Structure 1
Amino acid sequence: MTERVEVELKLALAEPARLPALLAALPAPEGAVLQRNVYLEDPGGVLVTQRVMTRLREERDEPREEAPIARAILTCKRRTSIAHGVFSAEEVEQAVPVARWLAFRDGGEPLLDGLEGDAATMLRDTLGVTALTVRGATTNLRRRVRAGGFLLEVDETRFPDGSVDAEVEVETDDPEGARAVVEAAAAEAGVALAVQTLGKYARFLERS
């Protein structure tokens, strides 16, 4: 099983409606994907007790909900630290065949039975989780922008209560360099930023 440490800068827009202004101050996006982040739990509460966020991300290569799912990615993540908008987490992930995911999501078939991969191994063998259920989901429009030597992920996320957040995420080993790039673009656009204090999953729990 391959576990990696993810280090990510997260900066929120104080006013999500100002996202178009920030995008106008950045280079044109390389592309956009529509993500549906489906959060999973287990009947025994192991994931809650062990503080492991488990998510299946549906990705569509066209930014519309009617587009077919291009990828299904199962992720297990345990947060290790948050400081000044820099989030560190231990993460394990794997691709799941889309048909297999849909059989679980829509047909109730077991997801983990016979599923091979790092995330499935962590859930079954390390944590002892044998069954998963859907807790809820968020929808995220992600634009990928290259600026200043960094890949910025500019997110517009809708939560179950209808609220919308806008933020910039940068996975990097140089978060302060990335912060300078994002803050310069925001200053040019007249957009106020704030350090993010909660990940998307924690905000999902607050707004479900």
Structure 2
Amino acid sequence: MKKIKQEHNVGNFKCLGGFRNIRDEYDYEGFVLELDETIFPWGTVYEIEVETEDPETLKVKLEKFLKEQKISYQYSNVTKFHNFKEKTLD
């Protein structure tokens, strides 16, 4: 931290704590899914991310798979850092 403060001429820092993020990659029907497990002191959030030029086709497939497996899900509207700052699991 001292080096960063010196290099960027930054004043005081305040430690906010932290969270842990574990990412694994899986092949799913030719797509690479990135599954995140984000562990906050107040709970855990799971997230699926994927880079694709055909998001709508994959969205339909994944929604069907999750429903068949009786896995509840929702689309996130906030970032991991927002959840951290607000102590939420949205």
State the TM bucket, normalised to the shorter chain.
0.7 to 0.9
- Pairing partner for 1:137 from 8, 14, 18: 18
2:63 matched to 1:170? no
Is 1:152–1:169's contact at 8 Å kept on the other side of the alignment? yes
**Structure 2 residues not aligned, in runs of 5+:** none
Higher relative contact order (CA 8 A, sep 6+): 1
- Pairing partner for 2:27 from 132, 135, 146: 146
Task: Give the partner amino acid of 2:4.
Answer: L
Q: How does 1:80-159 map to 2 (within 5 A)?
A: 104=1, 109-111=2-4, 113=7, 130-131=9-10, 133=13, 134-159=15-40
Q: How does 1:49-88 map to 2 (within 5 A)?
A: none
CA distance in 1, matches of 2:50, 2:37: 14
CA deviations on 1:19-43 (whole Å, 9 max, x unpaired) are xxxxxxxxxxxxxxxxxxxxxxxxx
**Structure 1 residues not aligned, in runs of 5+:** 1-103, 114-128
In percent, how many aligned pairs have the same letter? 29
When normalised by structure 1's length, the TM-score is: 0.36
When normalised by structure 2's length, the TM-score is: 0.72
Structure 1 vs Structure 2 CA RMSD: 2.4
Shift of 1:130: 3.6
CA deviations on 1:139-174 (whole Å, 9 max, x unpaired) are 0121211112221111111113x2111121123333
Task: Give the partner amino acid of 1:206.
Answer: E
Shift of 1:205: 1.0
Task: Give the partner amino acid of 1:153.
Answer: E
Task: Name the CA shift for 1:189/1:205 in 2 (closer, same or farther; >3 Å).
Answer: same
Task: Name the CA shift for 1:170/1:135 in 2 (closer, same or farther; >3 Å).
Answer: same
Residue of structure 2 in register with 1:14 after alignment? none
Runs of 4+ in 1 over 6 A off after TM superposition: none
